Amino acid sequence: MPCTHINHMSDEDVKSWLNSFDTVMTDCDGVLWVGAEAIQGSPQVINRFRELGKRVFFVTNNSTKHRREYKQKVDTLGFGGDLDEIIGTAYLAASYLEDCGFDKTKKVYVVGSAGITQELDDVGIQYLPIGAESSSGFNLETINDSRLNADQLLDRSVEAVILGFDGGINCWKLMMAASYLANHNTQFIVTNADACFLRAGLILPGTGSMVAAVETAAGRKPIILGKPNPLMFEIVQKRHPSVKPERTLMIGDRADTDILLGKNCGLQTLMVGTGVHSLEKVKDWETSTDSEEQRLVPDKFADRLGDLLDRIKDL
């Protein structure tokens, strides 16, 4: 199916499209805001969706914040919404362990930030303190250092490793994570596998780069919780059983996470051009012979989410 640009839709088409969904799941960075600034028009469209009776969920692969921090951000930037409408991957990681009955006398080794440990606190799961390790790591000359000893370093009550974005990742943390994962009963959970972010001409390594390092050292594949894993939608459905995939619109700026999540769950999809992927990319995928690339094509495209406002304000 080719992608339809909203500018090429008649008012009648926009109206029937709008009536075809009653739940909106939206990515945040690149759709609603960039950094600390709301993208012009996005708050008004989200609020208009609510006025039209649609339920809105914010879904983000970012693992660095507790939902409370997102709540503050959506309030400050004028999007509104309740805490339970915010699904981040730190929350997802804690919910995942809780849902699979993680033994609360055991612990989690976390590579990541306080967003994850605060969510673990909420479900009563214990963890080792983040960043308590040597920040100097080790080098191959001192590899016979007597400190490097599993009996001394490893806490035998650890039964899961959660890996999220960690700006202070180092060889020591990689060693600890890989060593815990040598026990195949230890669960290996990663919040997301986003490769990188682009900012001002720089490539900032994302969680996916850190996942690759741990995965290589441990020789194991993790469970990746974030988009495009259907878990992100499944948790919304579990909490709100009335949500129907075919009547849910997934909005995103990135095809291989946001749009693919939509495709993986049977949702409708809308891509906006204010973030990672452009309309030109969509055109390339439309004509690609690679079926994986064809799956990245969204149903609809808007240059900005705010462009919808004019089309839906009088409905």
Q: Which residues bind Mg ion (CB under 5 A)?
A: 27, 29-30, 253, 275
Report, in Å, the least distance between residue 61 CB and Mg ion: 8
Nearer to Mg ion among residue 162 and residue 261 (C-beta): 261
* Dihedral angle, C-alpha 71, 58, 200, 288, nearest 10 °: 170
Nearer to Mg ion among residue 34 and residue 153 (C-beta): 34
At 16 the three-state DSSP class reads helix
Length of the chain: 315
Amino acid at 84: D
Report, in Å, the least distance between residue 28 CB and Mg ion: 7
In three-state form (DSSP H/G/I as H, E/B as E, the rest C), the secondary structure along 70-87 is: HHHHHHHCCCCCCHHHEE
Nearer to Mg ion among residue 97 and residue 271 (C-beta): 271
DSSP conformation letters of the chain: -PPEEGGGS-HHHHHHHHTT-SEEEE--BTTTEETTEEPTTHHHHHHHHHHTT-EEEEEE---SS-HHHHHHHHHHTT----GGGEEEHHHHHHHHHHHTT--TTSEEEEES-HHHHHHHHHHT-EEPPTT-S-SS---GGGTT-TT--HHHH--TTEEEEEE---TT--HHHHHHHHHHHTSTTSEEEES----EEEETTEEEE-HHHHHHHHHHHHT-PPEE-STTSTHHHHHHHHH-TT--GGGEEEEES-IIIIIHHHHHHT-EEEEESSSS--HHHHHHHHT-S-HHHHTT--SEEES-GGGHHHHHTT-
Nearer to Mg ion among residue 30 and residue 222 (C-beta): 30
Q: Which residue is nearest to Mg ion (CB)?
A: 30
Report, in Å, the least distance between residue 21 CB and Mg ion: 20
Report, in Å, the least distance between residue 27 CB and Mg ion: 4
Nearer to Mg ion among residue 253 and residue 299 (C-beta): 253
Q: What angle do CA 166, 170, 175 make, to 5 degrees?
A: 110
Nearer to Mg ion among residue 27 and residue 159 (C-beta): 27
Give the active site residues: 27, 29
Report, in Å, the least distance between residue 24 CB and Mg ion: 15
Report, in Å, the least distance between residue 254 CB and Mg ion: 5
